[in-house]
Amino acid sequence: MVVNHLSTSWSVFQALFLEAMPFLLIGVVLATMARHWLPSGPVLQCLPDHRLLGPLTGAAMGFALPACECGNVPVARQLLASGSPLPTAMGFLLAAPVLNPIVLASTWAAFPDRPWLLWARPAAGLAMALAVSTLLGLQKEAAILAPNLLRERSFHQAAGPSSLLERSAGFIGSSSPVPLSLPSAGRSKSWRLSVLHGMDELVKLSSLLILGCGVAALLQTTLPRDWLLAVGQAPTLSVLALMLLAVVISVCSSVDAFLALGFAAQVTPGALLAFLVLGPVIDLKSLGLYGTVLCRSAMVFVALSCGVLTLLAGQWANFLTL
Amino acid sequence: MLTQSWASGRLQLLMAPVFHGLVVVSGLALLVGGVMGLMAHQPRPSTPWRAAILVLCTSLFIVLAPPRGSLSTLVRHRPPAQLDGLAAGFALPPEHRDLVDWVRLLRGTPQPQLFRGDPVQVEGFVLVTATGERHLAQVLVRCCLADATPVRLPVQWPAEGPLPEQDQWVRVEGEMELLDTPDGVQPVVIAHGVTSIPKPRQPFRT
């Protein structure tokens, strides 16, 4: 029995990992291209730093990257490393997995008989991204971003806002933490070096993806899915159960609507919305990837706040439709 | 690893065909990137050795240990598949309907007794349910095995001969009947003949 479960988990792991790798690769390729061709300073820093306009701009950028959460993490990380404003990058990180054309098209294809989902899903995703980005904006960057990313970012920010003592890395800091491939490092932006850096980044992110897929695959075969769906029509419990299911299943956001179609009739509308809103942003597979962007406390904060906001959105949908 | 998974036919066991091209192109892109990386005589950025070892070992394991999971274990506790959008087969004569056609037909009709006595010839694998019953099933996959959901028909297996094993692929010939089951009166396939068949190259419907 145990061997049977383990071999089944191994199959699910392979399916998740092999299916996610292309999307991760797309994200890394885009991040590498951005690093190589985009001027790191002026253009990205022109993106809005406003608490509302920033996340809105980041969310709109999601339409340019039709990939799931695995693909947009490396791009969001590169945006931040290149010095783009925090609200824009966070808006992109949190909203792009829902607000992209493939996800919207798949939602429409899966639920033509539930037109309210076509606007409720992107609206709830956008509202969640706006709220969480705004809350994160109240903190200092040092309390949010992963240490390595913070060091890379410090090279591309104007020296003005931070004092010399606050800049603990780079030309002023104690060590030389920035990879040689960064554009500012001597302007030696050869494409070979960019590819090398991209490959290294892909390796790092792939290792995190492996851990996430491993946990998700193990839980998929040990946690009975029908137990979660058994709560069916209970307004709050069904929302919570589907949120847990979304986190565990870790399926790509571009096809999760088709998966939801399988149990849409068994659960409340709010639970369905919660599954479609939370899954693309927070799941076991991508939690490791988030670790390259956010520090641990910020990851916990983002996961909890997204959970609470999704619960509210689900309850709101149940209130309107039941 | 990605291209090998495609070349060995493994992808057909793991995910819907619509993603195969993406995996192959990604594998080729990684090969090109790897060659370019080897050709580049540049000082390396800080190489993530621990991550590289994990990725390398996992890739080797994936190549060396193909998926041999149990579909029955995977979908035992999952809700039945939603069958909208799949070909219906209503117009087919009974003996030409496959398992999915039958399940759609039975789900859609308010009068299952209309199909009593109809000849049945369907193929699938043996799914052992949580209560220990052996149903004939197929799996529906939209994306990959992670979202697999079952389509299943209760079967009354022939009294003589051993019961088929879990995950064994079989062809069942018999007739449709309504029987009292723990879940109420249900359509059940009364099996007159059970033949073992090889596992399909792609063991799920999309």
| Each residue's pLDDT tens digit, A273-289 | 999 999 888 888 788 88
> Has residue A176 got a pLDDT over 70?
no
Query: Three-class SS of residue B91?
Result: coil
ipTM above 0.85, yes or no: yes
Task: Write down the pTM of the prediction.
Answer: 0.75
Check CB contact under 8 Å for A19 and B68. no
> Has residue A183 got a pLDDT over 70?
no
Distances (CA, A) of B106 to A173, A235, B77, B149, B150: 71, 30, 21, 18, 15
The least confident of A203-212, A244-253, A254-263 is A254-263
Query: Three-class SS of residue B189?
Result: strand
Kindly state the average pLDDT of the residues A107-130.
87
Whether A122 and A104 have beta carbons less than 8 Å apart is answered as: yes
Chain centre distance of CA A161: 28
Q: How many CB pairs under 8 A join A and B?
A: 170
DSSP string of A193-213, one letter each residue:
HHHHHHHHHHHHHHHHHHHHH
Check CB contact under 8 Å for A195 and B33. yes
Q: Please name the member of A11, A221, A261 whose beta carbon is closest to the beta carbon of B82.
A: A261
The least confident of A144-153, A185-194, B35-44 is A185-194
- Which residues of A fall within a CB distance of 8 Å from B11? 18
Which residue of A lies nearest to B38 if distances are taken between CA atoms?
Answer: A196
- How many angstroms away from the CA of B79 is the closest CA of chain A? 6
**What's the pLDDT at A178?**
42
- Find, among A49, A229, A37, the residue nearest to B77 by Cα: A229
Task: Write the pLDDT tens digit of every residue in B124-150.
Answer: 999 998 888 899 999 988 778 888 889
Q: How confident is the model at residue A295 (pLDDT cuts 50, 70, 90)?
A: very high
β-strand partners of B181 = B184
- Which residues of A fall within a CB distance of 8 Å from B37? 192, 195-196, 199
N- to C-terminal Cα distance for chain B?
24
Token pair of A304, please? 């909890």
**What's the pLDDT at A199?**
83
Task: Provide the 8-state DSSP code for B68.
Answer: -
Higher pLDDT residue, A100 or B190? B190
Q: Of all residues in chain A, what percent carry a pLDDT higher than 70?
A: 82
To the nearest 10°, the Cα dihedral for A106, A110, A112, A115?
-70
Which residue of A lies nearest to B40 if distances are taken between CA atoms?
Answer: A192
**What's the pLDDT at A179?**
44
Check CB contact under 8 Å for A193 and B147. no
Q: Which of B142, B149, B165, B206 to mutate to test the interface with A (most CBs of A within 10 A)?
A: B142
- Find, among A202, A225, A214, A242, the residue nearest to A16 by Cα: A214
Strand B184-196 relative to strand B149-156: parallel, antiparallel, unpaired? parallel
The least confident of A60-69, A102-111, A268-277, B21-30 is A60-69
Whether A192 and B42 have beta carbons less than 8 Å apart is answered as: yes
Low-confidence ranges of chain B (pLDDT < 70): 40-47, 84-90
Q: Of all residues in chain A, what percent carry a pLDDT higher than 90?
A: 18
Gyration radius of chain A over CA positions? 20
Give the start-to-end residue ranges of the domains of chain B.
2-68, 72-196
**Helical (H) or strand (E) element with A116:** helix A115-137
**What's the pLDDT at B170?**
94
- The CA distance from B99 to B137, in Å, is 8
Check CB contact under 8 Å for A9 and B69. yes
Q: Is B11 on the interface with A (CB under 8 A)?
A: yes
Give me chain A's average pLDDT, please.
79
Check CB contact under 8 Å for B67 and A11. yes
Residues B123-143, buried b or exposed e (16+ Cβ, 10 A)? ebbbbbeeeeebbbbbbbbbb
Distances (CA, A) of A183 to A5, A33, A46, A82, B122: 48, 12, 18, 9, 62
Whether A82 and A35 have beta carbons less than 8 Å apart is answered as: yes
- The CA distance from B113 to A158, in Å, is 77
User: What fold, for B72-196?
Assistant: OB fold (Dihydrolipoamide Acetyltransferase, E2P) (2.40.50)
Tokens 């004092």 correspond to what residue? A163
Check CB contact under 8 Å for B2 and A21. yes
Q: How confident is the model at residue A170 (pLDDT cuts 50, 70, 90)?
A: very low
Query: Three-class SS of residue B125?
Result: strand
Tokens 């565990």 correspond to what residue? A248
Q: Is B143 on the interface with A (CB under 8 A)?
A: yes
Whether A162 and B9 have beta carbons less than 8 Å apart is answered as: no
Whether B76 and B132 have beta carbons less than 8 Å apart is answered as: no
Token pair of B199, please? 């596992």
Q: How confident is the model at residue A121 (pLDDT cuts 50, 70, 90)?
A: very high
- Which residues of B fall within a CB distance of 8 Å from A181? 45
